[in-house]
A = this chain, B = another copy of it.
Amino acid sequence: MQVDRLNAAYCAALDEARFDDWPEFFLDDGQYKVQARENFDRGLPLALIALESKGMMKDRVYGVTQTIYHGPYYMRHVVGPARVLSDDGGLVRAQSNYAVFRTRPGDASEVYNVGRYIDEIVRTEAGLRLRSRLCVYDSEMVLNSLIYPI
């Protein structure tokens, strides 16, 4: 339940392009990784994006919003109810399936990136925070345009 609310807030920040809010869903030493399913399933380390602290996430946001030249697009996340694998009071392990739709100006909405979040979530005084979010996506065909976090 609380994980669903975390996901809803997380997705709203990205879909509303409030990218500066995005690192705040993580612990200071939080991890964020975006990896193809093919590599994940084989235990290979190669990842499309791998950020190992909130500082790196802020750098990424700065790069994406200030320096990268790219065609603009909207994102829309639809996430299924979370599946909690374990919850020892402090640390919650959960997974959720997501579909992200992309809309480019003047174009129809399209399936952009589907996959699952594999999460380690920590209860803090400020609420739930991600210690680690691994996004395992099913298709390798959207890489060149994966600008914003998923």
Residues of A in contact, count (CB < 8 Å): 42
B98–A78 CB distance below 8 A = yes
Output the least CB separation between A23 and chain B (Å).
19
- Copies of this protein in the assembly total 3
Interface presence of A71 (CB below 8 A): no
Given contacts A108-B111, A111-B108, contact A138 B76 (CB under 8 A): yes
A79–B82 CB distance below 8 A = no
Interface presence of A77 (CB below 8 A): yes
Of B77, B84, B103, B138, which is within 8 A of A139 by CB?
A: B103
Interface set, chain A 42-101, CB cutoff 8 A to B: 74, 76-84, 95-99, 101
Q: Cβ of A139: which chain B residues have Cβ within 8 Å of it?
A: 103, 107-109
